Structure formats: C-alpha cells, structure tokens
Amino acid sequence: MEYRKLGNTALELSAITYGSFAIGGNMWGGNEKKDSIASVHASLDHGVTSIDTAPFYGFGLSEEMIGEAIKGKDRSKIQLLTKFGLVWDGSNQGKGEFFFDASENGKTIPVYKFASKANIIKELEESLKRLGTDYIDLLQIHWPDSTTAISETMEALEVLIQQGKIRAAGVCNYSVDQLKEASATLTLASNQVSYSMLNRSIEQDLVPYALENQTGIIAYSPMERGLLTGKYFTENTLKQDDHRNGYFSQFDLEKVKSLIATLAPVAQNKGVTVAQLVLRWTTLQPGITVVLAGARNASQSIANAQAMDINFTAEELILINNELSKL
C-alpha cells in the first residue's frame, strides 16, 4: 500500500481508502452485517488504514458498524473520515435546503442540506458516539448548503480543530469558487469529489486549483458504482430498490462496453480484474490524493487493496488513454 499526505496537513491516508456507503444499506439493496464488518477488517489487514463514512450512510448504521469493526484496534493507526450536513430526522426544524427524498423500509424520508454551526457540533458528537472514538481525523461537509454562509461552516470547523475533536477539515462536492470563499476563513485539507474514467470534468479547473493550493482531492465513485467492473453487462442482477438502475442510464453504455473490452485483455495479462485496473489507473492521475473504494465483503476489500500492486507500461497507458479519448 502507498500512503499519501493530505493537502498541507500532517494526515497520511492510504491511497486506497475504504468507502462505506454501500455497507450502510440504504440505496444499495442492503448488506449482511457480518460481511460488512469482515470487509472493514480485511481492509485494515491489507494496508488500507483510512475509512471514509458519513452519518447519512444507512442513517447512522455505517458509522455504527465501523465503530464496532475498529473496537479494540490501535486507533492511532486508523484514519477516520466522516461528514456532516445531511439531516433527515427533523432536527433542522425546517431550516436548510431540501435535497431529496430518501427511503427506508418503504418509508419516505426527506433529506436536507444543513451546515449551521450548531448542527455541525451536534452531528459531530453523534458521529463520535457511533464510531466509538473521541476524535475524527478528517471532518467534511457532505454537500454545500446554500442557506448557511460558508464562513459560518468554516468557523465551526476551525473551533473543532482548536478543541482537538478533529485533526483536519475538508469539504465534499465544492466548486473552485466555493473553495476560494472557504479559504478566506480556513485552510482546507481536501475536497471529496466524483471522479472516474467516465467523469473527468474536475481536470478542467478543480485539479489545477488543488495542485496550486496544496488541497487534497479524495475521489469517490471511481468505479461509477460498479459499472466499470464490467459485471453489469454480464450479470445484471441489481435489486429493484438499487439506485444504480437509474444511475447507469446517464452513460453511453455502448461506449462503456467498448472501454471495458479494451481494458479486459490488459487486466488478463496482468492477472488482475478490470476493477483493479480501473482503481490503480485512478490513483495515478494528477492531483488525486486518494481513491475511495467500496466493499461489501472481505474478498472485495482484499482485491481493492491489491490494486496498488499493479504497474503499467507506457504502452498500456497510451492504449487506455486513447480509448478514454473516445468517450
């Protein structure tokens, strides 16, 4: 495994970081608890020291399972990354920005973006309890909240750093303009954004800004929620309540199929999967600090970690990038 410094902080994260959205259950068709716990343990056993989660994932369930999985382990060797700013329990008292309607057990649950100072403090205490720890390594706003001044959010994070409750502060899904506004109050460690072979828009403005300002980039959805594994084209067994049934429709699936056909022989020659090849390629892109990789079980966690063992030849990278230019 490779470990990388996050922005201008002292934090070092594993290049492959465990992404825990899927083990939360909601929007992913559910997952067995024992498999979820095993996936965290396998990640830690194979050099993945960083775990990214959020209160919204499973409405607290993801954080609780991670807390259970790391109980008794050396906390100093684990980096916990969590978030705030998505509220679903009505505690925002009608404030904030409506985001979307989620569902759980057939019940519709309105979700709001809400990042006031009071809410940040409240959410952090809840996350600390669920995770069974007394500090968070990186606390991030989950989505921008148009109803709360960015300066108020950043001031709250600065206070939490001074109190020692968080080691560093980051954001998710921020534009360059939002990063600039935030930087007037607080030096941010990172921006967590969507990035993949199929979605490279951040290369235009966000990557240059991050490189110039020593801001880490945490890439999520590198596999486009499983589409780039190629399994969707041969094993389309998504459950009815799996959000990916609609998510995949945004892509030109014939072009994606062609890309996977190009990647498959390269992966086969190296004795790895297409998914591992895609993960490794993503970690090598300029400006990308770490890449989030989800896992539902131990074998998937091990495969994700082993992706870092892949080395590309110059010819292979040219072949892959030529195919990407056709998308």
User: So which residues are the catalytic ones?
Assistant: 57
Strand pairing class (86-87; 107-113): antiparallel
Contact criterion met (CB below 8 Å) for 78 and 108 = no
Comparing C-alpha atoms, which of 9, 131, 142 is closest to residue 78?
131
Comparing C-alpha atoms, which of 180, 181, 190 is closest to residue 141?
190
Comparing C-alpha atoms, which of 224, 293, 296 is closest to residue 1?
293
Each as own residue / partner, the long-range contacts of residues 179-185 (CB below 8 Å, 24 or more positions apart, any chain) are 179/206, 179/209, 179/213, 179/215, 181/150, 181/151, 182/150, 182/153, 182/154, 183/213, 184/151, 185/150, 185/151, 185/154, 185/155, 185/158
Q: 265, exposed or middle or buried, with CB in 10 Å at 0-12, 13-18, 19+?
A: exposed
Report the C-alpha gap between 91 and 109 in whole angstroms.
Answer: 13
User: Which of helix, strand or coil describes residue 22?
Assistant: helix
Report the C-alpha gap between 201 and 219 in whole angstroms.
Answer: 12
Which ranges constitute the DSSP H helices of 71-214? Answer: 117-131, 150-162, 176-183, 206-213
The residue written with tokens 């030109």 in the block is: 252
Strand pairing class (166-172; 136-141): parallel
Reading the block at residue 229, the tokens are 């594994």
The residue written with tokens 């505690």 in the block is: 91
